[in-house]
Amino acid sequence: MIEERLEQSFTKLGYQRINSNAAGIYLFYHIEGMELTIVSVIHAITGNELMKEQYEHILEQIKDKYRKSYPHRIRLLSLILTASVDRVKHFCIENREDEHWIIDIDAKRLIIYENQSNVFSDIREQLEALLFEEAMRSQVNQEPVHNRVYPGAMGHDLKTERQDNVQPRYKLFTLMNTIIIVINVLAFLLLHYVPIFGGEGRMLTRGALSWHFVLTEKEYYRVLTSMFMHSDFSHLFNNMLVLIFVGDNLERAAGKFRYLFLYFGTGILAGITSIGYNMWKENGQFLVGNSVFSIGASGAIFGVVGAMLFIVAINRGRLEDISTRQMVLFVVFSLYGGIVNTQIDQAAHIGGFLAGILLAAIVYRRPKRRNGEQPA
């Protein structure tokens, strides 16, 4: 039974089990330093066992019980065991306090919605491993996934039906990042294949980043237009590949509008860094044919990487499938590639990366509990 394996998994993590007075509900708790973590496991197999008000009341009772005996910070994770995800997902989506995850016992999967944070990464890893093993065991035993009977759920024997219409946390693409990628691709096609706008040479001359044209000619728009220009397909492909991997994760972690702010904010600051460095390098003397013109989204992309590194670091070293070690190695190899390639605007890379860390520190906040807890 999955309940027995859940208990084994929590025991490995140092949790102790407490049986509650309510049927179908049991608790695990763990104290580390000045922080108490409580995991409530609630059976809602058909989704009809609890109303939203009852569910919230149960969780409040759990927290009230421990607040009286534990004066420090309390974190609560609610695990809902169900075979009817559609009927219980509103418990997770509509509740902003605490954490609410669903274990789909039919499909053997863990569902975490977008409004949830990532503070229980150790529990998530254990649950995903457990559910994967359960899924493999079901396949070996050829256990059917439809119309199984689950005894003991909330004191009843209940026949269930698999529900597939759910929206899990981890989607393949995010909206704003996808739009930015599409704009980059369209800009590339217009730049290189549509001569109606003046051809590649004219567009590069009028849109590329140059300290002289920005500061002397007041063509400030170049800071933005240069972010959507790429020299060739390889340049575009490499930048967009990184953006697909890191940008999607950052948008899920920070939210759509913060992601836009981080992307364009770091891109602009990267451009300013490039302007300052190249002006200093050229001693403020603009020479036609010798002065540097810069194009590409890599300044903003390094900003995304820097922001992601900061967010991963403050989320205890892991966010979704990205670890701090992976991000650090990625940054080191990317910066090294810029050093050995003299054609790369390394100033924009470094400026964007540092800007990403700074802006993420300003706008990103780990989700906080709103249940009256005192910080540890």
In a domain, 166, yes or no: no
In a domain, 169, yes or no: no
In a domain, 308, yes or no: yes
Q: Are residues 100 and 57 in the same domain?
A: yes
In a domain, 26, yes or no: yes
Rounded CA gap, 272 and 198, in Å? 27
Rounded CA gap, 3 and 151, in Å? 12
| Lowest-confidence pick of 32-46, 205-219, 347-361 | 32-46
| Strand blocks (E) in 228-365 | 318-319, 322-323
Rounded CA gap, 13 and 207, in Å? 56
Catalytic residue (choose from 69, 298, 323, 334): 298
What mean pLDDT is predicted for residues 17-35? 80
Residues 6+ apart with CB under 8 A from 241: none
Q: Are residues 255 and 337 in the same domain?
A: yes
Q: What percent of the chain has pLDDT over 90?
A: 26
Q: Are residues 92 and 221 in the same domain?
A: no
- The 10s digit of each residue's pLDDT in 46-99 is 888 888 888 888 888 888 888 777 777 788 888 999 988 888 888 888 777 788
In a domain, 370, yes or no: no
Q: Which long-range contacts (CB under 8 A, 24 or more apart) does 55-58 make?
A: 55/91, 56/95, 58/22, 58/25
Mean model confidence pLDDT for the chain: 79
Catalytic residue (choose from 100, 212, 230, 349): 349
Rounded CA gap, 269 and 77, in Å? 39
For the ranges 42-51, 153-162, 175-184, 235-244, the maximum mean pLDDT occurs at 175-184
Rounded CA gap, 88 and 90, in Å? 5
Q: Are residues 151 and 190 in the same domain?
A: no
What mean pLDDT is predicted for residues 164-171? 42
Q: Are residues 6 and 48 in the same domain?
A: yes
- Which pLDDT score is estimated for 61? 84
Total domains in the chain come to 2
Residue 151 — pLDDT band, cuts 50, 70, 90? very low
Residue 355 — pLDDT band, cuts 50, 70, 90? very high
Q: Are residues 179 and 150 in the same domain?
A: no
In a domain, 371, yes or no: no
Q: Which two tokens stand for residue 55?
A: 């569910």
Q: Which two tokens stand for residue 15?
A: 């949790």
Last residue in a domain, options 159, 184, 205: 159
Q: Are residues 197 and 135 in the same domain?
A: no
- Which CATH number belongs to the domain containing residue 115 in this structure? 3.40.1350
In a domain, 167, yes or no: no
Rg (the chain; Cα; Å)? 26
Rounded CA gap, 59 and 57, in Å? 5
Q: Are residues 91 and 13 in the same domain?
A: yes
- Which CATH number belongs to the domain containing residue 342 in this structure? 1.20.1540.10
Last residue in a domain, options 133, 159, 185: 159
What is the pTM (predicted TM-score) of this model?
0.55
- Which pLDDT score is estimated for 192? 87
Rounded CA gap, 323 and 332, in Å? 14
Last residue in a domain, options 128, 159, 190: 159
Q: Are residues 350 and 204 in the same domain?
A: yes
Identify whether 274 is a catalytic site residue: no
In a domain, 368, yes or no: no
| Lowest-confidence pick of 204-208, 211-215, 231-235, 347-351 | 204-208
- Which pLDDT score is estimated for 170? 44
Burial of 238 (0-12, 13-18, 19+ CB in 10 A): middle
Q: Are residues 13 and 82 in the same domain?
A: yes
Rounded CA gap, 249 and 242, in Å? 11
Identify whether 298 is a catalytic site residue: yes
Residues 6+ apart with CB under 8 A from 94: 52
Q: Are residues 131 and 204 in the same domain?
A: no
- Supply the range of the domain harboring residue 212: 175-363
Rounded CA gap, 262 and 283, in Å? 31
What mean pLDDT is predicted for residues 26-48? 85
Q: Are residues 109 and 180 in the same domain?
A: no
Among 117, 76, 71, CA closest to 320: 117
Among 73, 115, 72, CA closest to 93: 115
